A and B are shown apart, each in its own frame.
Chain A
Amino acid sequence: MKILVVDDEKNILKLYQVELEDEGYSVVTANSGKEGLEVFERENPDIVTLDILMPDLDGIQVLRLMKEKRPSVPIIMLTAYDYRDDFSVWVSDAYVVKSSDLTNLKATIKQLIKKTTT
């Protein structure tokens, strides 16, 4: 199971990578939206986590481009705060408020995998 993590913060990428690898996933990372799209094409991930606030290409744009290419890949939006009133987020499969406690994120990933495999 390959997860693509896209975030402009290198430390966060590192944290997510080790944490998710601990969970048994294979993790690929991208440090910007642009890079995220390249990796998405090249690595064919089964699931993507996407930060919203990024400099060059923000998470919402990336989300749209990825969904155009492979709509079946579940994408989890990571938000700095409650983004429920931003309609664009609704096209994603789930969103999780960023927190140092990754329990919520991990649970959401598990749920989505379960959904796609059944």
Chain B
Amino acid sequence: MNDTENTNGPSLLNDSETEVLQATKGQLNRLLVIFDLTKAIISAHDFRELLEKVSEETAKIFNAKGCMILFIEDGMLKIKAHYGFPAEIRDALTVNLGESFVGKVAVEGKPMLAQSPEDFGRLSQYIDIQTALCTPLKIGDQVIGTFGLYNKKNVDKDGNESIVPFTADDQAILEGFASIASIVIDKSLLYENALRKEKEALEAKQRFGDLWDHLQGFIENSADAIVTTDLEGVVVSWNIGAEKIYGYARNEAIGKYMPFIPDFLREVEKVYAERVKRGETIKDIETVRGTRGGTLLDVNLTLSPIKDPSGAVIGISGIARDITEKKRIEKDLISKNAVLSKLMMISSAMRGTLELNKLLRMVLTAVTMGDGLGFNRAMLFLLDETKNTLRGAVGVGPSSHEEAWEIWSRLTTEQKSLDSIMEEIERGPLRKDSFMDKLCCGVEVSMDNETVLTKAIKEKRAFNVTDVHAEPLSDPILIQQLGTLAYAVLPLVSRNKVIGVLWVDNIYTSRTITDLDMEFLKGFSDQMASAIENARLFEHVAQAEQELENIFESISDLVYFISSDYVIKNANKAVQSKLGKPLESIIGKKCYEVFHGIEAPWGKCPHHKTILTNKPFIEELEDPQLGGTFLVSTSPIFDKAGEVMGTVHIVRDISELKKLREKVANAERMAALGEMAAKVAHEIRNPLLSIGGFARRLEKRLAGDLKEYSKIIVDEVGRLEGILNDALSFVKSAPVNKTDFDLGEIIDSIITLFEPAVLGRGNRLTMEMAQPVKIHADYDRIKEVLINLVTNANEATERGNIIIRAYRQVLLSEADLLGHKARSFNVIVEIEDSGCGIKEENINRIFDPFFTTRTSGTGLGLSITKRIVEEHGGRIEVESNRGSGAKFKIYIPLQEG
């Protein structure tokens, strides 16, 4: 405060007037000070500037050298503005509440005048403080800080400056001012806060805008496919990455259901969508996506919900990364060890599998398995050297994309035992007769063609055809039938010999076959080749063994092994059927018990001769036990030490052969005999004819004894002619002239024909025929047969019965290819008599020519009968016991469609 006017002005007023004047001046001064301050405050732009201004102006108004404003912050007083102090004081000094007079003012809330140096505390380190005035800054009753003035200046008349104490007036003015300042400060603080908040909001908005641009850029430029959809899967946004990866342009995709979901994954996709709708984010799904071009891609997918401000899920965002390449690298490199160990497992299984078909299938499975070599399709061609062709042997692979996915997701060796893999092979889509397999088995390539397949064989070299249209030697048959676009073939070389080729392609994934793939295949194909070769050899051996077994079993001779101690070790089917016993009751038994039913070795058996001499024997033996004539051969079997351990018996039933031999000899004899007979017969026929003919004339013309004598000549000639006819018809046979007729007709006529002769011997001739029996045969000859048989029956019987029976016997043959059963019949005619029967020793001879037991007759009747029956393809049998009649049974076969 400047008091100069008070002291320097002329004293025209009295004391009381002066006093009033003084007081009024004082009031005015105070108002001026406040006015100045207010002006200063209003001119300030911001809070800090305001405080600085306040402190400077206040110091000037009060004529003080220093001013300081402190606020209570964090429990202590901090300098907010000062004037007349060094600049560094603001950061260097804080004042504790209660410390020095400033601290006391803040605590007590009352202004204070300070004069003693100890009151000033640490402030005096910065300026030399001699006098000070401090008042609290209050809002309401709350002290928010202090307002202090230091070192009041006084300039005397001479212009000398000195420091004087602050007056009570000063204190009162400062107090009033502080109360105004407090309000201004408070408002300013509020304004400041609002301002700060607005600025922060603007900054935040700015930052968000930057982030948004960044994000948009990121989404647009991302190599990943970023697609958002609504909850129904309809595409809402589609970035450039999605265009590149899936091949659909933005306008093709937006507004449609996600076009990259393969049909076979739609259900799975729904499950994912449900999870996301519940707010879940699904990370790192490894799945496949379809492209516009129809290929499948491996992708890594993250699905997240898109929420509105209220937190409700309104859409789904999907970020997909094409990991096809990554997958390949994984397969090729990362899982190399795993692959190798699987292949080791497969190849050890291969070495252990000798069944060729199974092996081939296993091999191809290893080639196509997801974590095997991972090719889409594989085929094995084997070289057929005899036909000079390459033939598809086994094919493995899915027939469509859908099937491809199914197989690859299922067929993995991961955590599977070898057994279950084998089971997969046998039951799964790689089974025999799959689409691919059938396709493959139909492929045959001539080795004369010059193609990749044949070159691989001829040059023992692998080929990787990356584009069939660019490779002039690519196989047209594979392109046509398999639709392959790129493929690789590897020769299968075993012991330096090419046995076939392995063919692979990646039609579904379109994955390029790399050099690494080829190397892998090569290593594998060598093992494969030797395994196949082994299996083939084994198959040959097994086949040969089976053939031997078949021969052994199906041979019609009896074949059996007998040890040196007469025990049967093995026997074929013929033995079983001849003996009528199952194998179990033959093997392990003594041969003489089984074959001869005796307790000790059979004297005639060549077995013990072979055992004794070590030499083979062949003998023809009559064996009453087995019933027939047998050609028996015994050959010794030697053990490794050269000792005989037993014999092989080969026994042929030659009973029929023997009979046949006898028949042939007989026939030859008869032929010679017959020829002679024919000659003789012919020579005597003409004279007989003349004799008989004229005798007949005489007989007609003569009477009495002469007529009788003539008749004798006629009869005898007739008998001779009869013998001639029999003999000659035996020699010279006529062809069979078959017609259809009913046997009943013939039998009827025969009964009529024989009536006088049958009655003459007191016999009864009857026919037994339930229904008409149609027959296709030579009428005359069948009649002759019946005449012969009835003649014999009548002559062998006296006062007895002769029955002619005729019926059909149905024989069913096996069904033919169309399932039709050809029915065949035997027509059977029986002539049975109750006569004297046939002697046992004669029964085998009665059909021989010229054999007769009768005093009359040629002995040709039955042999002619037999011949006629045989000409009809039939047979004749006889049953008889001496004294109880005979039964002749004729079988004539008759085919019917």
Minimum CB–CB distance from B793 to chain A (whole Å) comes to 25
Minimum CB–CB distance from B72 to chain A (whole Å) comes to 155
The stretch of A42-50, A62-70, A77-85 in contact with B is: A77-85
- In the complex the two chains form, is B690's CB within 8 Å of A9's CB? yes
CB-contact partner of B735 in A81, A84, A98, under 8 A: A84
- In the complex the two chains form, is A100's CB within 8 Å of B695's CB? yes
The stretch of A12-20, A23-31, A32-40, A107-115 in contact with B is: A12-20
Contact with A along B701-741 (1 / 0, CB 8 A): 00000000000001001100100110011011111010000
Contact with A along B246-271 (1 / 0, CB 8 A): 00000000000000000000000000
Chain B 293-313 residues near chain A, CB threshold 8 A: none
- In the complex the two chains form, is B732's CB within 8 Å of A100's CB? no
- In the complex the two chains form, is A97's CB within 8 Å of B718's CB? no
A11 close to chain B: CB less than 8 A: yes
B688 close to chain A: CB less than 8 A: yes
B241 close to chain A: CB less than 8 A: no
CA distance A82 to B734 in the complex (A): 8
| Given contacts A82-B732, A85-B734, A98 and B685 within 8 Å (CB-CB) | yes
CA distance A33 to B693 in the complex (A): 22
- In the complex the two chains form, is A100's CB within 8 Å of B696's CB? yes
Q: Using a Cβ–Cβ cut-off of 8 Å, how many residues does chain A contribute to the interface with B?
A: 19
- In the complex the two chains form, is A101's CB within 8 Å of B728's CB? no
CB-contact partner of A80 in B685, B692, B693, B733, under 8 A: B685
- In the complex the two chains form, is B732's CB within 8 Å of A81's CB? yes
Chain B 648-688 residues near chain A, CB threshold 8 A: 678, 681-682, 685-688
- In the complex the two chains form, is B691's CB within 8 Å of A100's CB? yes
- In the complex the two chains form, is B725's CB within 8 Å of A81's CB? yes
Q: What residues of A have a CB within 8 angstroms of the CB of B725 in the complex?
A: 81-82, 97
Contact with B along A88-118 (1 / 0, CB 8 A): 0000000001111110000000000000000
Minimum CB–CB distance from A8 to chain B (whole Å) comes to 9
- In the complex the two chains form, is A98's CB within 8 Å of B689's CB? yes
A57 close to chain B: CB less than 8 A: no
CB-contact partner of A19 in B688, B697, B734, under 8 A: B697
A53 close to chain B: CB less than 8 A: yes
CB-contact partner of A100 in B678, B688, B731, under 8 A: B688
- In the complex the two chains form, is B714's CB within 8 Å of A100's CB? yes
Q: What residues of B have a CB within 8 angstroms of the CB of A80 in the complex?
A: 681-682, 685-686, 728
Contact with B along A46-62 (1 / 0, CB 8 A): 00000001000000000
CA distance A18 to B732 in the complex (A): 32
CB-contact partner of A82 in B682, B689, B718, B729, under 8 A: B729
CA distance A9 to B689 in the complex (A): 10
Minimum CB–CB distance from B712 to chain A (whole Å) comes to 13
- In the complex the two chains form, is A81's CB within 8 Å of B692's CB? no
Q: What residues of A have a CB within 8 angstroms of the CB of B35 in the complex?
A: none
B638 close to chain A: CB less than 8 A: no
Minimum CB–CB distance from A40 to chain B (whole Å) comes to 22
Q: What residues of A have a CB within 8 angstroms of the CB of B689 in the complex?
A: 9, 12, 15, 98-100
Q: What residues of B have a CB within 8 angstroms of the CB of A84 in the complex?
A: 734-735, 737
B520 close to chain A: CB less than 8 A: no
B694 close to chain A: CB less than 8 A: yes
Minimum CB–CB distance from A83 to chain B (whole Å) comes to 8
- In the complex the two chains form, is B690's CB within 8 Å of A11's CB? yes
CB-contact partner of B693 in A81, A83, A102, under 8 A: A102
Determine the main DSSP class of A at the interface with B: loop
Closest A residue to B734 by CB, please name it.
A84
CA distance A76 to B283 in the complex (A): 116
Closest B residue to A16 by CB, please name it.
B693
Residue of A19, A85, A99, A100 contacting most chain B CB atoms (<10 Å) = A100
Contact with A along B330-345 (1 / 0, CB 8 A): 0000000000000000
- In the complex the two chains form, is A85's CB within 8 Å of B732's CB? yes
Closest A residue to B691 by CB, please name it.
A100
- In the complex the two chains form, is B729's CB within 8 Å of A81's CB? yes
- In the complex the two chains form, is B718's CB within 8 Å of A101's CB? yes
Minimum CB–CB distance from A32 to chain B (whole Å) comes to 14
| Given contacts A18-B697, A81-B725, A82-B729, A100 and B734 within 8 Å (CB-CB) | no
CA distance A49 to B717 in the complex (A): 22
Minimum CB–CB distance from B140 to chain A (whole Å) comes to 159
Q: What residues of A have a CB within 8 angstroms of the CB of B691 in the complex?
A: 100
Q: What residues of A have a CB within 8 angstroms of the CB of B694 in the complex?
A: 11, 15
Residue of A11, A80, A82 contacting most chain B CB atoms (<10 Å) = A80
Minimum CB–CB distance from A14 to chain B (whole Å) comes to 8
Closest A residue to B735 by CB, please name it.
A85
Q: What residues of A have a CB within 8 angstroms of the CB of B681 in the complex?
A: 80-81
CA distance A98 to B685 in the complex (A): 8
Minimum CB–CB distance from A99 to chain B (whole Å) comes to 6
Q: What residues of B have a CB within 8 angstroms of the CB of A11 in the complex?
A: 686-687, 690, 694
- In the complex the two chains form, is B686's CB within 8 Å of A12's CB? yes
CB-contact partner of B721 in A19, A85, A100, under 8 A: A100
CA distance A36 to B695 in the complex (A): 27
Minimum CB–CB distance from B84 to chain A (whole Å) comes to 167
CA distance A101 to B717 in the complex (A): 10
Minimum CB–CB distance from A33 to chain B (whole Å) comes to 16
Minimum CB–CB distance from A111 to chain B (whole Å) comes to 18
Q: What residues of B have a CB within 8 angstroms of the CB of A19 in the complex?
A: 693, 697
- In the complex the two chains form, is A9's CB within 8 Å of B686's CB? yes
Q: What residues of B have a CB within 8 angstroms of the CB of A18 in the complex?
A: 697
- In the complex the two chains form, is A53's CB within 8 Å of B682's CB? yes
- In the complex the two chains form, is A100's CB within 8 Å of B692's CB? yes
Closest B residue to A98 by CB, please name it.
B689
Q: What residues of B have a CB within 8 angstroms of the CB of A81 in the complex?
A: 678, 681-682, 724-725, 728-729, 731-732
Minimum CB–CB distance from A114 to chain B (whole Å) comes to 23
CA distance A12 to B686 in the complex (A): 7
CA distance A28 to B767 in the complex (A): 51
CA distance A15 to B718 in the complex (A): 16
| Given contacts A9-B686, A53-B682, A82 and B693 within 8 Å (CB-CB) | no
Minimum CB–CB distance from A82 to chain B (whole Å) comes to 5
Closest A residue to B690 by CB, please name it.
A11
Minimum CB–CB distance from A19 to chain B (whole Å) comes to 7
Minimum CB–CB distance from B134 to chain A (whole Å) comes to 168
CA distance A81 to B686 in the complex (A): 11
CA distance A83 to B733 in the complex (A): 9
Residue of A12, A19, A101 contacting most chain B CB atoms (<10 Å) = A101
Closest B residue to A85 by CB, please name it.
B734
Contact with A along B108-150 (1 / 0, CB 8 A): 0000000000000000000000000000000000000000000
| Given contacts A82-B734, A84-B735, A15 and B685 within 8 Å (CB-CB) | no
CA distance A15 to B724 in the complex (A): 20
Closest B residue to A13 by CB, please name it.
B690
| Given contacts A18-B697, A100-B717, A82 and B690 within 8 Å (CB-CB) | no
Minimum CB–CB distance from B741 to chain A (whole Å) comes to 18
Q: What residues of B have a CB within 8 angstroms of the CB of A99 in the complex?
A: 689, 692, 721
Q: What residues of A have a CB within 8 angstroms of the CB of B714 in the complex?
A: 100
Chain B 726-771 residues near chain A, CB threshold 8 A: 728-729, 731-735, 737
CA distance A83 to B725 in the complex (A): 12
Closest B residue to A10 by CB, please name it.
B690
CA distance A11 to B721 in the complex (A): 17
Minimum CB–CB distance from A89 to chain B (whole Å) comes to 11
- In the complex the two chains form, is A100's CB within 8 Å of B735's CB? no
CB-contact partner of A12 in B690, B697, B721, under 8 A: B690
- In the complex the two chains form, is A100's CB within 8 Å of B693's CB? yes
Q: What residues of A have a CB within 8 angstroms of the CB of B735 in the complex?
A: 84-85
Closest B residue to A15 by CB, please name it.
B693
Additional A-B contact list (6), CB under 8 Å, known A81-B729, A100-B696: A9-B686, A11-B687, A81-B731, A83-B732, A84-B735, A98-B686
7 contacts between A and B (CB under 8 A): A12-B693, A19-B693, A82-B728, A82-B732, A84-B734, A85-B735, A100-B695
Q: Which 7 A-B pairs have the closest CB atoms?
A: A100-B692, A81-B728, A11-B690, A84-B734, A15-B693, A85-B734, A100-B693
